[in-house]
Each structure stands twice: as structure tokens, then as C-alpha cells.
Amino acid sequence: MAKRIEVSDLNIYYGNFLAVEGVNVSIEPRSITALIGPSGCGKSTFLRSLNRMHEVLPGARVEGKVVMDGQDLYGADVDPVDVRRSIGMVFQRPNPFPTMSIYDNVIAGNRLNSKRMRKAETDELVERSLRGANLWNEVKDRLDRPGSGLSGGQQQRLCIARAIAVEPDVLLMDEPCSALDPISTLAIEDLMTELKERFTIVIVTHNMQQAARVSESTGFFNLNGVGQPGRLIEFNPTEKIFSNPDEKATEDYISGRFG
Amino acid sequence: MAKRIEVSDLNIYYGNFLAVEGVNVSIEPRSITALIGPSGCGKSTFLRSLNRMHEVLPGARVEGKVVMDGQDLYGADVDPVDVRRSIGMVFQRPNPFPTMSIYDNVIAGNRLNSKRMRKAETDELVERSLRGANLWNEVKDRLDRPGSGLSGGQQQRLCIARAIAVEPDVLLMDEPCSALDPISTLAIEDLMTELKERFTIVIVTHNMQQAARVSESTGFFNLNGVGQPGRLIEFNPTEKIFSNPDEKATEDYISGRFG
Amino acid sequence: ACGASNEDSGSDSGSGGGSDSAAELSGSLVGAGASSQQSAMEAWQAGFEGEYPDVQFSYAPEGSGAGREQFINGSADFAGSDAALDEEELTAASERCAGGEVFELPNYISPIAVAFNLEGVDELNLTPATIANIFNGTITTWNDPAIAADNADATLPATAITPVHRADDSGTTENFTDYLHQAAADVWTAEPDGVWPLEGGESAQGTSGVIEVVTNTVGAITYADASRAGDLGVANVAVGSDFVAPSPEAAAAVVENSPAVEGRGEYDFAIEVNRLTEGTGEYPVVLVSYHIGCVEYDDQEKADNVKAFMNYVISEDGQATAAENAGNAQISDTLREQAQGAVDAITAAG
Amino acid sequence: MTATKAPTEPPAQQRTVRRPGDRIFSGAAKGSGIFILLVLAGVAAFLISEALPALTAPSDEIPGGEGLAGYVGPLILGTLLGAVIALIVATPLAVAIALYITYYAPRRIAAPMGYVIDLLAAIPSVVYGFWGLAVLAPELVPFHTWLADTLGFIPFFAGPASTSGRTMLTVGIVLAVMILPIISAISREVFSQAPALHREAALALGATRWEMIKMAVLPYGKSGIIAGAMLGLGRALGETMAVAIILSGGAGATVNLISNSNPSTIASNIALSFPEATGIDVNTLIASGLALFLITLAVNMLARWVVNRRADFSGAN
Amino acid sequence: MSTETPLAPAGAHRADTDGPVRTQRRLPRFAASGLFLGGLVVGGLLSALTGFSLVLAVVYGVVLGTLAVYLVSRSIEGRRKATDRLVTSLVTTAFLIAMVPLLSLVYTVLDNGLPRLDGAFFTNSMYRVVGEGGGAYHAILGTVIITALATIISVPIGLLTAIYLVEYGTGRLKKAITFFVDVMTGIPSIVAGLFSFALFTLVFGNSVRLGVMGAVALSVLMIPVVVRSCEEVLKLVPNELREASYALGIPKWRTVVKVVLPTAIAGLGTGITLSVARVVGETAPLLVTVGLITGTNLNPFDGRMATLPVFAYFQLTQPGTATQAFIDRAWTAALVLIILVMALNVVARLISRFFAPKTGR
Ligand SMILES: Nc1ncnc2c1ncn2[C@@H]1O[C@H](COP(=O)(O)OP(=O)(O)OP(=O)(O)O)[C@@H](O)[C@H]1O
Ligand SMILES: Nc1ncnc2c1ncn2[C@@H]1O[C@H](COP(=O)(O)OP(=O)(O)OP(=O)(O)O)[C@@H](O)[C@H]1O
Ligand SMILES: [Mg+2]
Ligand SMILES: [Mg+2]
Ligand SMILES: O=P([O-])([O-])[O-]
């Protein structure tokens, strides 16, 4: 049930500070969209506005429209809780619940929706999600231990397992691999490629190879200077962005090509 | 004042858990040494043992020797504080002091050791360090604002500025760029190349391109399985590691080349 | 410079009322004991400080027992106490007074009122037996025949009676239970005690506590210093064939006609209140509070200060001020003469 | 793998060189800790030595004439009753208040609200006493009557209902109000520190506000809540003046919370009886203080056990 | 999941529907408050049937209102949303319930305390005052001095102990201190007073009554509160910051003093304020150690002193015939006590705002 997301004229504020300005973009279903750009240009901010996580911060608000399959996510009758349930998120810093075991962390989201799940069902779900996040072998013997006892990379994979366990329509990932080793990164990238058959995936990454490797479309954010709002400079198929971008700024950024 | 570090038969424990076993390595002065390896193999643990940050954790201890220019850092008469003062460190997660302004963060190492400095001197030091970390232009107008108001990437660069401000002999960096955008990463890499003229630098990275780009020597850590100690599998000139490694495991790891 | 604004002016005007000897007295004077005489003590203290501004006077109303104990162990120069010293204490006190004598002056006399909260009823006539039966829970409603019998005029409601007693150890309780024990011996068998002897029932702390509770609870009744009964109804107590209202005069009268305790020292005027009096105008539910001190002190300064204070307390002026502030009974001339003898005898050793 | 080596190898910390500043500072810190233990030992020694005569005295010399157990027993019951009511009433309220202030109230009024609640802690216990006596107790009389009428079959509410409202129940409620700010201030502090990382993790999974709190705030704040509750309980167990003023005490052991005959509490009984007490009475009172001390000890052991049981899963690090 | 289903029409969903963001039925914006009000009104009517009483009306009203919101939300919005609304309603109600005694107390104290809140109250003592007039100058200063002394004793010991527990403590000693500090919170105030009294009696003999005795008694009560609240706060300082500091070659003690304490300063301020508030109104221990005098004594090492709580207590419990004047003074003293703590709070807040970690995010 992947979904198309249409963003029009989106301005994103922190209080009175306009952090991101005038974004218009259409994110294709069943694809991976990568967002790249220098630090502070508003990639995370934009990403968080897609599942209304932005408004969790005091004073934060948006103007404009984010339409998913015809429905305005910021419509008056839309509950942000429902939005987030169908648009999952993985954060830059791993954040497993420290008070829950690894097992409980994975099914935390599912527990919310359906009170009762059979043990066999959850066991299966936990294994499937942890395998998907390439973590199963490392933790299968200590599912009842706290998730906070894992290393950074392991924790991040646990978070990914947790996010995919609720089977959202869209998965937002904010530099999910920045704390991962190559093997885990590879596994996650494979997983993304697999998941995009069914889900819409948006990923923020600093790693241009990663963007080039996994994504169908790439958006390049930039900002003119400190205190200025970030803007979506270019949004194009990944191939085009990396071979023949429309914008000079994109080319400049890409051509300092490295890792 | 770069220093050579000789590590012999180093075992590193968390309580009774042997995390890293039998490391023997010689780190050259005035060079960049990169440590790579899968997640959980003990790179961070090893790095932290080099400036005795490891023993800050309760129950953590080491066996073996770490000798810097003839002096055993774990010798009975060595003060760990002095060790850390001459071997600086940048962490994986940016951690600026939240109570301090950007300015104060940069000179924290000097000021908290109650070194007296004239205003002009500190001003100069702050500017030099921030420029070194490629952050000067972004923050020069708000040096008195809290450091925690910066974006993740900016915060990390602030931490780098803070570490180099105390002018250590050796600089340990634990995935310092994993939260940085390419431009900042490039700046940091340039900076490292510049700093290695004077300092010894050891960097943990998941980014093999980065390792290949900046380092003279590379160490590959690996572990046989969960619960097993990590080991230094191979330590060689970077060129050799990336073209013709001695070990099969290294080659396997590298050849899944990406990242 | 740091003093309160009234204190500076206090020492200035203080000399106006004082005698010539005022300037000679200094040092401190520490009293402790009965809280019952606290209001009177305030008046005495103010008057005394007016005359002798250089004396550091304090009185800690921590309770009679505490007062006697502090006097005996030397932390207080004199005690205020709702009960005279017992034999054991007397021996200890005499030791404290360099083996010398002890004075006990009944300087504070106050009627204990049986006060109640009953709408439309301000006054009731109660016999000792009825009071005892109310407080031991035998009589539970206000329209009980035993009450009605003595109060033909009053319209008594069927309201339940809530007897309220003191929760703390108190001289008021001791005097009240002593009265019941003597005057209603066949109903009230418990020995007199500062702690309420019966289990259960409503209790409250301090005179103001019981008054507060009774004021807030319709149908409640308690015993308390008459000057504090305020708007509450107050019972007339049967004495002989009459019913006597609590008044300072009636209280002073009964004290004057009470016998002294046998076998005490020359200046020890401990009395045994005559609870069974049938004398007209005598109110036997009365609390007598003493001032206890040494006839001979170790230290001249102490002796002078105690002497000066006691002089003021028993003076007509002192008694009148106290009565105004505390509503107690003034001591009679007989008592004053008696006391004056003791006060004059106070000296320092050596 | 290290089992054989570990004993022979001295721990790294012992070899560590420490600079004078560190040694002085940590010495001072440790010294303070030890000093506290000494103070406590002093208090305990004082209690035990003063209680000893009462512990060894023949039972007919103890006030009441029924021995120490007969004297202290009802007091212990009263103390526990009042404190438990207070805790039961105050803890959920305090947690709710802390949640309201940290996560529900509009941001602009949240801070002043917290401040206003803190004010409750600033009111001296004498004032609570007189408020309880003059305002609350009369207000609660109908409630007492209602309880006696409708829930009279429960021993706690057996009645007859007090006509003045100065009951154990009222005392419990006043104590609850007194400890409310203590529990809520500490809960508030820990709730507001619940890491944004985890709160956002919950929200991103589609949690409602309450579910987010359940997942990321309450577990994190649990030890804080328990710490606050323990502080509150300590205060409730030891509260003296307010109870002394409000409670119509002095009765024997009864769990009836709403009649006008209530067991007294240990602390208030000491305050009421101490000034007039002499000789063995004093020792008896101090023995009751010792009992209170032991109760606190037991309560804390219990709390510690509860907190430690899941220490692995605590929010710290 | 592999087929794209069109959006479910409004209201047609089931609670367990998988799928896109459901345009599920939501209660209109003010419906919840409306329902709640409705419940209140019905509750009021209901209580009117059984003989109107305000308390009953509110109780019925709140219960009915909450129920109404929950049930309607449950049937329209589903279980989870309904639970969320229920909790919101409960939390808000709990808060309002807690405001009732507070308002009542504040009203009572103001109503009774304002009449004497005049200049004389702050400039006059009770020296030679009989009946009306007088003030609490001596008691205010006494309270300030004794509380300040207790704070000076308690805060360094308490804070250092908290630091020991969080930064240095290991093994048995740490466990013992944590445990016994908890035990210490349970020392009844009167016992603390008696302890201090016994201690000083041991040293100075019988007759001694000093301000500092009260300060020691208050310290016994205050230290554990300081330790506990500071410990909780220090534990919340992230380890990352300590590590950052160590890595700069900063000795541990400087790390604690310059990094950990400033980061926690706001919480420490709150904790210490709380502990001061905890003892400033204590009556029983001061009663047995400091006593009460009518004049001004500013020297805590010499003789009895007046303090506000004891002053208020005696004014209330031992009034003379001019009862009202005594009661007025008592309530005013209580009011002043509260004002004192409020002022303290404000100062603590200003300090913590000034030093608190500045978080831009
Ligand atoms: N909570 C916040 N309050 C105010 N401003 C914020 C907040 N978070 C981010 N900003 C500002 O918004 C802008 C965009 O920040 P954002 O974190 O979205 O950048 P980014 O592209 O994700 O950077 P990075 O690559 O470092 O993660 C920056 O100027 C940042 O300082
Ligand atoms: N504080 C700790 N206590 C106990 N074990 C730990 C601790 N920190 C790390 N470990 C364990 O030590 C091993 C090495 O961890 P380390 O963090 O050094 O790995 P790493 O190579 O840095 O991994 P990553 O790339 O994820 O950062 C892992 O098995 C980890 O679980
Ligand atoms: Mg970002
Ligand atoms: Mg690591
Ligand atoms: O004077 P009392 O002992 O009854 O308070």
C-alpha cells in the first residue's frame, strides 16, 4: 500500500524562524527518494514535517500542503497520531526504549494497535523484523535483555526493526546508516530495496554513494547562508542528478564527490 | 609534538567481559591511522583505551601496555588526566557542553583547567580552532549563543574545535564525520591532513573511502561471533590493506566495498 | 540598630513606670511551665520588662511537667505549674535550691467552664453527676431526662452529645477530673490525671483546640478555661443546692477557703482545692497554677530578678493587668499577704 | 576466560594516580556521606539508649498499664493508617499533576502552575493543622456520614461517623495535600527530563500522547516517582503538628477511619505528651519514636527492593 | 497489502483496519469540552434531585462528563483515542482537584492573615506587648537566621554526599548511604528536635537553648532531602558530557564542579528550595530547641530565639482574652512564612534561569 506524497508550497517554521521554504515535490510510491544537502539545510526538518513529527516541538508549525493519495495530512480532520502510524520513522540517533527488552522494543508499535496478539504471532513478527534489520543472529539469545545494552550500530538496527514491525505505508529515515558498519549498511540497503516493492521510502543521507546506489529520485536541499531558509534546489531522478543535474549548485555539491 | 604509540598485548575488559583481546600495534607519529571493522568489534573500545577514557566506565579495565614515546601510559605513576590532556578525543555523538556558549565550549579545555589567558589570546584561539573545524563562518556572529542550538553537524564540528583547541599530541576520533555533511567532512579531512604534520591522529570510521583517502595505516578489527572478543586482524599501510591485504577476512570485508 | 522599633522605645519609656532600683537589675530570668497561665504571664512579662528593661526575661509555656523538670534541673529559674510539686519532686527541688526551701505560690487562679455548643441554649444547670455521665458517655443526647430535670426552662433538642476532651497532658484535665472524681465519686471512678483517663471519644489539642472543635460542632461539650469560652454556652455547676456560674470571684472564693497541703515548708503554699464546697458563690471547678522557685538562689542576680518578678506578679497592679489580659481571678488580699512573706524571704546564698 | 586472571590482577583503578584536587574533593564527598551515616547512628543511639528503660520496664509502669506493646501498638497502627491513606491519595494525584504540567498544560501556564503547586510545600504544618481543623474537617462531615451509610459494611468505614470530621480519614487527606508537592515536584523534574529521543520514538510509532507517556516517560520517571513517594511517605509518617492539631486521637487500635475515636500517631503523640512527660513516660515516648524509625527502615527496604528489581531497565544511560 | 486500496470512506473504518491515514471520524473541535460540560450540567441536575450540594454536583458532573467524553469518543474514534481523551480528562481533573485545597488554604491564610499584614508587623516585636498590636519582626529574623544556618550546614553536606553517590560512590558504602539517607527522611521532626536537644545537652549541660540547636535539628531533616533531590538531578546529567570533559584532560573534580553541577543547576536549585521549604515551617523541633521569646535575639549562639512557626503556633494555641489579635498575628505569621518561601523560590528560579543549560533545540 505504498503511497504517493505530494508536497506543495511547504514552509516550515521553528517559532518565527523559517527553516525551510517553498518546497514543492511529488514523492513516488514504491520507490526510494533520497534527500541530500549540506548540514543545516533543513533535510531533517522537511522529513519530519512529512509525518507531522515536526509539530511535536514547541512552537514548530508548517504552512502549505502535504497530500498523501489525495488526503491532506494537515487537514483539519486528520489526527497526527494516525499520520505517524502509517508513516513510520527511523532517527539519526538510535533510540530504543531503555526500559523495554529487545523483544518488547520490536513490538512496541504493534502493541499499541492491537491489544491482543498471540505469542506465536508476535514471536514470528519479532524474528521477521529483526532478520529484516540484520540483527537477529546477534540478539536472538538475549531478546529479554534491555535494548540499551547493545552497541550503537546494533541499537540503530533495533530501531529499524521496530519501525518496520508496524508495517507502515511510508518509511522516513533520517541518516539511518550513519551509525552503522558497512555490513549492516548493506543489509539495510538491501532491505530498503526489498521494502520499496511495497512501501514508499524517503531517506536523508550524507552518503552520496548511498543515495546513488539505492534511490530512484534525489532531492538536493541547500541554503544561501546561515539564518536563511533551506530550499529544495533540485528534484530529479537519481541518475540525472548524479550525471547531469539541472542546477549549477547541485553539480558543485555533487562534484566534490566523496563519501 | 606528535607521538608514537606502541600497544602490546592489550586486553580490554568490561567487568568480566573481554571485549578486545591481544592487540599489538605501533602507531606512527605524524600520521593518520584508521581503524575499520564491523559494528561491535571493539574499535571504539580500543580507541578509548589509548587515552585511558576506557577506565572511566565502572568495572572497565585493561591488561597490557600502551607506551607513548617510551612511557607506559598505564604505568603506576601516570595520571590519567595528563594522558587525556595530551591525547585528545572526539566522540561519535556530538556533545557540546549545554551550559556554555559556543565561545566557552571551544576554550573549555583551557579554561576548566584554569589556565589564565588574555582575552585577545582566547579570541584568537577560538577563531583559529573554529576555522580549523570549518565552523567559523557559521557561528562567528553568535559566539555567545549556546552550543546546543546548533544542528547536529555544527555541534560535531564544535566538538572538534574544542578538542583541537587544547593542542594535544594525539587526536583520537571515533567516527567524527558520521553526523557531518560532505562539505564539513571534506573540511575535517583537510584539517586532519594538515594536523598530521604536527599530531598523531587515530580515527575510527565506517567509511572505507575516508580511510583510504586520509590514512597512512589502517587497522582492521573483527570478531568471530557475538560474545567473542574483538581482535586486530590486520594492521598495514593503507595502500596495502586496500589493494592487497594479508588476510582473507580483510579482503572479504573490503571487497564488499561501499559506504 | 537591629532591634525592633518597639524595643528601642520600650527601654526609654520603661524607666517611667519603674522604681529607682530598676537600673540595678540586669542579667536574665528564665521561667518555664504551665501553658494555662501563658496569657497572664504575657501581661506580667510586659509589666516586668517595663520596670526592668535590662533583664532578659523569658517564659516557655511548654507545660507544667516540663516547667517543674526544668526548674529542678536548673535550666529554669522558676516554674509555672498547674500542680504543686509532689514529694519526690520536692526533694529534688530542694537539692536544686542548695538544700534550701522552695516557694510555691498559687498566683494564677482560673475557673474552668463546662462549655457547649447548642443552638438557642446559652446557659444550662448541670450537676456533677450529670457532667460525669455526659463525659463518660452514659448520657448521649441533649434532651436526656437527667439534663431536662435541672433545666425546666430550656428547650433541649434531641441532638447527640459530642463530649470533647483534651488530647494533650494538661492541668485543666487534671483539675477537671479531680473535680469529677470528688464531686461525682459514684459515677466517675477514674483517678484524677492530666491525661484523659477514658478511651475513645473526641479529643483536641490545647484549650484553643477544644474550643475550636466545640465551636464547629453542634452538640459538642467540653471543659476549658472560662475566659476562653467566648460565645459558647456555659454551664452553671451545682454547688450545694445552688447552681453557680464560673466567674473569677467565685473561683477566688473557693481557693481562699481551701485547706493547705499538710507538712510543707514555710513558704510552700500548696493547697488542696475544696471541690466539695457548699459555700455560696464558690465555684469548685477551678484551676490553680503556681509559681515555684527557690527561697535561696546561688546567685545574687538570680535572686534579685526572681524576687522582683514575684513582687510584681502579686502586686495589685500585676494581678489587675493579668486579669485584664487573661480573664483569670485576682488573688485575694489574704493570699497576697501570704505570698509577700515568701517573696520577701528570697535571698542569695552566701 | 578471565576467571583465573581476575583475582591476581589488581583492578586498574587501584593503581590510578590521583591528583591532590581530586583526592581532596572525593575525600570531602566521601566524608560527607560518612558524616551522614554518623549523624544517623547518633540519632539511632540516642533513640535506643533513651528507649532502653521503657523496653526493660515492667508492663504496669508503662502509661496505660498494658505494657509497651499495648501502648505503642495502636500508635503504630494510627501512624501507618494516616500515612498510607496519604500515599494512596497523593501519589496518583501528584503524578497526574506532574504529567499535566509537563505534557498537557499549555506551555505558557505550565511553569506558573508548577510554581503554584510548589507553594503547597511552603505552607507550615501548623497552618495545615488549623486549616484542617477549621475548614476541611467540618466540610468533610457529610462525606463521613455518607461513607458510614453506604460503605459501612467495610470495617474502615464502620462508623459511627464523626460529628466533627477530625478523623483519620481527614488526617490522611491533609497529609496527602502536604506531601503532594513533594511527590509532584520530583516527578515533574524527571518527567521533563525524559529524553526527547525516546518520546519521539514513541510518537513516530503512532502513539497517542498517553501512549507516548506510557512508553517513554513513565518508565523513565519511575524511580523518580518512587523516590518522591518515599520522601512523601517519610514526611507523612513523621508529621507532627498538623496531626496533633487535627486528629481526635487517643483511642485504642481500630481501623475505623471515620469515627471520632482514632488511634493517635507516633509523632503527634510524642508532641502532645512530651512536654508533660517525666521519668519512664519519656522513655516510653522515645521507644515509640524508635518504632517509627524502624517502620521507616522497613518501608525503605521495601521501596529499594521494588526499585532494584528492574534496575537493568532503568532509564539511566 | 500489495493492492492499493482506495481511501476508506469516512467513518467506515474498523479500529483494526490496516492502511493509509484513515480519514476517520473525529470529534469536532469543541465536542469533547461540550460533552464534558453536558455531563457537568446533568450531574448538577442529578444532585439537585437529591438535594443540591455544590460538592455533589461537581463530583457527579465530573464523573458524568468524563464518562460522556470517553464513551462518545470510544464509539466514534476508537479505543486508543478514547483512552487518550480519558487520560487527558483525568489528568486535568486531578490537577484541578489538587488546586482546591491549595486555593482553600491560600484563601484561608490570606483572609485571616491580611488584616495584620501592616508595617508594624514587620517592624515590631512582641516585647512588652499585651493584647493587641505587636509584630513578628523578631520571629521573621529568627526564622531567616536559623533557616540560613541550617542551609549552610545542610547544603554542602547534602550536595557533597549526592556528588559522592553519583560520581564516586561504589560498593557497600554507596549502598549504605543511599539506604540510610532514605531512612533519614523518615525521622520525625520532633525526634530530630529531641536529638539535637540531647546532643547539646551532652555538651553544654542542661539549661541550654540556642538558635543553632534548632538549625542542627532542621539540618537533620533537611540533609536527606537535599541529598535525594540533588542525587536525582545529578543522575540525569548525561554521561556524554562527563566524557567530553575527561577527554579534554580535565580532572574529575573540575569536571564535576564546572560541567556536571552547572548542567544540573536548575534542578539543584529546585531541590534545595524544596528542602528549605520542607523545614522552614517546622514547629516541633524548634519548640524543644529554640523556644520562643518576645524580644529580638539575632545571635543563634546565645539563648532562645523567636521563629515564625513557633510564634504562629503559640499565638494560635495560647491566645489571651483579646483572642482575635492573637489569631490575626498567627495567620499573618503564616502568611509571612509563605511569602518568605515564595521569595526564596523566585530567587532560586532566577538563579537557575540565569545558569540553566541553554538549549536551543
Ligand atoms: N528545534 C529547533 N529549533 C530551532 N531551530 C532548529 C531546530 N532544529 C533545527 N533548527 C534549525 O533549522 C535548520 C535546519 O536544521 P535541520 O536539522 O533540519 O538540518 P539538516 O539538514 O538535517 O542538518 P544535518 O545534516 O546536520 O542533520 C538549521 O538552521 C537548524 O539550526
Ligand atoms: N559500556 C559497555 N559495557 C559493556 N559492554 C560494552 C560497553 N560498550 C560496548 N560494549 C561491548 O563491547 C563490544 C565492543 O563495542 P564497541 O562499542 O567498542 O564496538 P564498535 O566497534 O565501536 O561498534 P560500532 O561500530 O557500533 O560503534 C560490543 O560487544 C559491545 O556490546
Ligand atoms: Mg539532520
Ligand atoms: Mg563505536
Ligand atoms: O494549661 P494546660 O496544661 O491545660 O494547657
For the segment B200-210, what is each residue's pLDDT rounded down to a tens digit? 999 998 777 78
Cα of C250 vs centre of ligand 5, distance in Å, is 20
Q: What is the DSSP string of B120-167?
A: HHHHHHHHHHHHHTT-HHHHGGGTTSBGGGS-HHHHHHHHHHHHHHT-
> Phi and psi dihedrals of A172, rounded to 5?
-100, 135
Nearest listed ligand to the Cα of residue A222: 1
Q: Is the CB of C172 under 6 A from ligand 5?
A: yes
Residue E148 has pLDDT above 90, yes or no: yes
CATH superfamily placement of domain D45-55+64-309: MetI-like (1.10.3720.10)
For position C148, what pLDDT does the model report?
A: 92
The Å distance, Cα A87 to ligand 1 centre, comes to: 21
Ligand 1 atom 1: residue of nearest CA: E361
- C293 close contact with D: CB closer than 8 A: no
Please indicate whether residue B44, judged by its CB atom, sits closer than 6 Å to ligand 2.
Answer: yes
Q: How far is the alpha carbon of B223 from chain D, nearest alpha carbon, in Å?
A: 16
Find the mean pLDDT for residues A220-229. 80
E251 secondary structure, DSSP code: -
As a whole number, mean pLDDT of residues B40-53 equals 91
Cell of D47: 533513640
Count other Cβ atoms within 10 Å, centred on residue D85: 22
pLDDT at C161 (0 to 100): 92
What are the backbone angles phi and psi of residue E296, rounded to the nearest 5°?
A: -95, 130
Rounded distance between C-alpha atoms, residue E31 and residue E37, angstroms: 10
Cα distances (Å, whole numbers) of residue A206 to A28, B187, D93, D127, D204: 21, 14, 47, 63, 22
Mean pLDDT of E162-182: 89
What are the residue boundaries of the structural domains of chain D, listed by start? 45-55+64-309
Q: Which residue has the higher pLDDT, E32 or A8?
A: A8
Q: Which residues of chain C have pLDDT under 70?
A: 1-2, 8-23, 350
User: Domains of chain A, with CATH numbers?
Assistant: 5-93+171-255 (3.40.50.300)
Which residues of E are less than 8 Å from C75 in CB distance? 206-209
> Does the pLDDT value for residue A59 go beyond 50?
yes
Higher pLDDT: D66 or B120? It is B120
Nearest CA to ligand 5 atom 1: C36
Whether ligand 1 lies within 6 angstroms of the CB of A19 is answered as yes
Residue in B13, B76, B80 nearest the CB of D2: B13
From the list D166, D252, D278, which residue is nearest C199 (CB)?
D252
Mean pLDDT confidence for D134-159 = 87
Cβ(B199)–Cβ(B2) below 8 Å: yes
Interface contacts (B, E; CB < 8 Å): 98
Asked whether residue A182 carries a pLDDT value surpassing 70, the answer given is no
Q: Measured between alpha carbons, how far is E241 from B112 in angstroms, rounded to an integer?
A: 13
Average pLDDT over residues E273-300: 86
On the question of pLDDT at A137 being above 80, the answer is yes
Query: Minimal Cα–Cα distance from B203 to chain D, Å?
Result: 25
Question: Taking 70 as the threshold, does the pLDDT of residue E19 lie above it?
Answer: no
Most confident of A199-203, D14-18, E16-20: A199-203
Residue D1 has pLDDT above 70, yes or no: no
Q: Which residues of chain B make contact with A175, given a CB cutoff of 8 A?
A: 179
Predicted pLDDT of residue D7: 38
Ramachandran region, residue C236 (left: φ > 0; alpha: ψ -120 to 50; beta: rest): beta
Nearest CA in chain B to A209: B259
* Residue E45, C-beta contacts closer than 8 angstroms, at least 6 positions apart: none
The pLDDT value recorded for residue A258 is: 40
Average pLDDT, integer, range E302-327: 86
**Angle between helical axes of A152-165 and A119-132 (0-180°, round to 10):** 130
What pLDDT is stored for residue D13 in this prediction? 44
Q: How remote is the CA of residue A165 from the centroid of ligand 3, in Å? A: 24
Interface test with D, best of A47, A79, A95 (most D CBs within 10 A): A95
pLDDT confidence of residue E6: 36
Taking CA atoms only, the protein residue closest to ligand 2 atom 20 is B40
* pLDDT the model gives residue A259: 35
pLDDT digits (tens, 9 = 90+) for B141-163: 889 888 877 877 788 889 988 98
Domain ranges of chain E: 29-114, 120-355
Grade residue D314 by pLDDT with cuts at 50, 70 and 90. Answer: very low
Q: Which cell is B208 given?
A: 572505507
Average of per-residue pLDDT values in chain C: 87
Instruction: Quick: pLDDT tens for C311-334.
Output: 999 999 999 999 888 888 888 888
pLDDT at residue number A187: 75
Phi first, then psi: what are they for B221, rounded to 5°?
-95, 150
pLDDT(E210) > 50: yes
- In whole angstroms, give the CA distance from residue D206 to residue D203: 5
CB contact under 8 A, D100 and E91: yes
Q: In angstroms, what is the span from residue E248 Cα to ligand 3's centroid?
A: 27
Based on DSSP, count helices (H) and strands (E) in chain D, helices before strands: 14, 0
Cβ–ligand 2 distance for B57 under 6 Å, the answer yes
Establish, for the pair of chains C and E, how many residue pairs have beta carbons separated by less than 8 Å.
111
Counting ligands in written order, the one closest to the CA of B20 is 2
Establish whether residue A231 lines the binding site of ligand 1, counting it when its CB lies within 6 angstroms of any ligand atom.
no
Q: Do chains B and C touch (3 or more CB pairs under 8 A)?
A: no
Atom of ligand 1 nearest to the CA of A221: 21
Mean pLDDT of E5-14: 36
Query: Which residues lie closer than 8 Å to D108 by C-beta, 6 or more apart?
Result: none
Pairwise CA distance, residues D78 & D55, whole Å: 21
Average pLDDT over residues E42-61: 74
Distance A183 CA to ligand 2 centre (A): 16
- pLDDT score recorded for residue C8: 63
* Best A99, A101, A155 residue to mutate vs chain D (most D CBs within 10 Å): A99
Spatial separation of the C-alpha atoms in residues A87 and A64, rounded to whole Å: 19
Task: Evaluate whether the domain defined by E120-355 bears CATH number 1.10.3720.10.
Answer: yes
Query: Residue B163 and residue B118: Cα distance in Å, rounded?
Result: 20
Binned at pLDDT 50, 70 and 90, residue A218 comes out as very high
Q: Report CB contact under 8 Å: C208, E303.
A: no
Question: Residues near E297 by Cβ (< 8 Å), separated by ≥ 6?
Answer: E138, E142, E211, E303, E304, E305, E306
- The residues, any chain, with a CB within 8 Å of residue C102's CB and separated by 6 or more, are C85, C90, C93, C94, C265, C267, C268, C292, C293, C294, C295
Dist CA A7 CA A27 (whole Å): 8
List the grid coordinates of C332.
485575694
Among candidate residues A165, A176, A194, A191, the one with its CA nearest the CA of residue A85: A165
Ligand 1 neighbourhood includes E361 CB (under 6 angstroms): yes
End-to-end CA distance of chain A: 33
**Is pLDDT of A92 > 90?**
no
Torsion of CA D109, D177, E317, E286, to 10 degrees: -90
Percentage of chain B beyond pLDDT 90 is 36
Q: Is E14 in the pocket of ligand 1 (CB under 6 A)?
A: no
pLDDT above 90 covers what percent of chain A? 28
Q: Which pLDDT value is given to residue B69?
A: 87
Which chain E residues touch B108 with a CB distance below 8 Å? 245, 248, 250
Of A141-145, B181-185, D209-213, D283-287, where does mean pLDDT reach its minimum? B181-185
The runs of H, that is alpha helices, within chain A are 43-50, 80-86, 102-106, 108-113, 119-132, 136-139, 152-165, 182-195, 208-214, 238-243, 248-255
Residue of D nearest to E229 (CA): D186
pLDDT recorded at residue E357: 59
Atom number in ligand 5 closest to CA C34: 1
pLDDT score recorded for residue A179: 66
